[in-house]
Amino acid sequence: MLNLSVILEDSARRYPTSPAFTFGETTLNFAQINGAANQVANGLRSRGIQPGDKVAIDCLNLPYFPIIYFGILKAGATVVPLSVLLKKEEIAYHLKDSEAKAFFCFIGTEDLPMGKMGYGGFQEVDSCEQFYMIMPQPTDASPIEGVETLGSLMAGQSPVLKRTASSPDDVAVIIYTSGTTGKPKGAMLTHSNIMLNTVISADLGELSENDTQIIVLPLFHIFAMTVLMNAGVYRGTHSVLLPRFDAGAIFGLMDKHDVTIFAGVPTMYWGLVNHDTTGVNLEKITKNLQVCFSGGASLPVQVLKDFEAKFNVPIMEGYGMSEGSPVVTFNHKNRVRKPGSIGTPVWGVEVKLVDDKGKEVPVGEKGELLYRGHNVMKGYYNKPEATAKTIQNGWLHSGDVATKDEDGYYYIVDRTKDMIIRGGLNVYPREVEEVMMKHESVSMVAVIGVPDDKYGEEIKAFVILKPNQDVTEDELRIWTKGNIADYKYPRHVELVDSLPTSATGKILKKELRVS
């Protein structure tokens, strides 16, 4: 028997008074988090939630998230994390698709009215029977009359619990994919999937009870959930929570809490590199910071070099996806690290690259990345056809194009769906982006394909310049032409002040395509 919540119970026994989660001026230790999670589990049981039921959560990076997350697991139910940016109709879709019986939703703010959106979506789904508003303070009443709160659910519940036994193959979490190709699908991750990935992540980061990490990546996303929250709980690590990325706030927290570990997506590293550090105690921050991790998207090599030069700390890049629990490959600390590479497969995971006929490609050639192992999801919830298409003979087809070098290190070329076909020739946006990032005036680039009557698709680059640079769009186009094959350079260049990003910090190319 295995229930993922054992990692919290174990740390509550080993490090009861050690800091577990900090938000603002509030710090809760492992015993407090565990006791509160037990109250949530007892409350859910008292309301009829059974093992195997689905319970959704829509919450910012607050201590309430791990409390509810582990409470759901302790009750034997399945956690369904939702993006904090979802609107009413999207929330209704996720609740209905996952067949959630209960829904915890944070009240939100004026700028981000999560509670209003969440309750509106909940009201449209008859199969979701229970709604609990998460308020800033447990004793706060809900602003919507008749609506229960997390505090009222926990009130009077015992902080002691006998955890529900679960099978390793039971579904612990249903994590929804981004839905860039149609409606989002719920990837079913088992207790075993996430437990093994949690242990591997803790080993990769060499986490310990003496470490402090910042979690600014959203906890509803599998990267933060497994690699940071769960791995941190497993090892007794102190996690400092921040709901939204702000470079100044990050530096302040690094200084205040002597942070040793940071993980982010490429846009976050770009933001830290370009932030004015006047008044920031960089000497102290860089002395404490031991290692940084990057995932979620390919990290531009130029950003990696600039960050490491400024902060004197290595960035270990890896590759993963929701369907992989998430970690598939990583640059290991005890091996050679290759900038631009996503490293080698993690323990217990096999990777191969194949062509469009399913045949493995030679070293150095491009192919779709496939993997198999303990990290592969159970399948997409209630979508057997999509599952059969994605998992074939035990191998999960990622949709990502990669190469492998002679040392067995993998490099992501691009997403299959992002590939541009110009006049019958394949152009991978990342290759163009990497070249343009080398221009002295360029800060960030996003390349897409746009419709073209002659070539089918033409290449367009959206470019953010570094401060006080006045290079023109035409000059950038000509410069890029001189540094890449003629069919690959962007015929269209547009200078922009910012690029659209998701809640996880990924650049949203689908929004650029319709702009």
pLDDT in tens, 313-352: 999 999 999 999 999 999 988 899 998 999 999 999 999 9
Residues 354/368, Cβ–Cβ less than 8 Å: yes
Please check whether residue 298 is in contact with residue 430, taking contact to mean a CB–CB distance below 8 angstroms.
yes
CATH class of 419-513: alpha beta
What are 159-214's pLDDT values in tens digits?
999 888 899 999 999 999 865 456 899 999 999 999 999 999 999 999 999 999 99
**Segment 210-222 mean pLDDT:** 96
CA angle centred on 108, ends 105 and 112, rounded to 5°: 120
In angstroms, the Cα distances linking 346 to 26, 324, 371 are 36, 11, 11
The confidence score (pLDDT) of residue 182 equals 67
Q: What is the pTM of this model?
A: 0.90
d(CA 262, CA 216): 9
pLDDT tens-place string over residues 252-293:
999 999 999 999 999 999 999 999 999 999 999 999 999 999
| Residue 72: pLDDT band with limits 50, 70, 90 | very high
Residues 84, 111 contacting (CB under 8 angstroms): no
pLDDT bracket for residue 298 (50, 70, 90) = confident
Q: What are the beta bridge partners of residue 318? A: 330
Rounded Cα distance, 258 and 284, in Å: 8
Average pLDDT over residues 73-91: 95
Residue 305: pLDDT above 70?
yes
Examine residue 326 and say whether the peptide bond preceding it is cis (omega within 30 degrees of 0). Answer: yes
| Exposure class string for 375-394: b at 16+ Cβ within 10 A, else e | bbbbbbbebeeebeebbeee
Does residue 148 carry a pLDDT above 80? yes
429-436 vs 473-481: helix crossing angle, rounded to 10: 110
Secondary structure element (H or E) that encloses residue 12, with its range: helix 6-14
Query: Tell me, what DSSP letter sits at residue 507?
Result: B
Q: Rounded CA gap, 463 and 466, in Å?
A: 10
Question: Is pLDDT at 297 greater than 90 in this prediction?
Answer: no
Hey, where are the domains in the chain?
6-192, 419-513
The identity of residue 452, as a single letter, is D
Task: Please give the CATH topology (third level) of the domain spanning 6-192.
Answer: Rossmann fold (3.40.50)
**Residue ranges of E strands in 30-82:** 54-58, 78-81
33, 10 Cβ separation under 8 angstroms: no
Residue count of the chain, please give it.
515
Q: What is the pLDDT of residue 180?
A: 47
Could you give the percent of the chain with pLDDT greater than 70? 99
Cα–Cα distance, 158 to 35 (Å, whole number): 8
Per-residue burial over 483-501, b if 16 or more Cβ lie within 10 Å, else e, is ebeeebbbeebeeeeebee
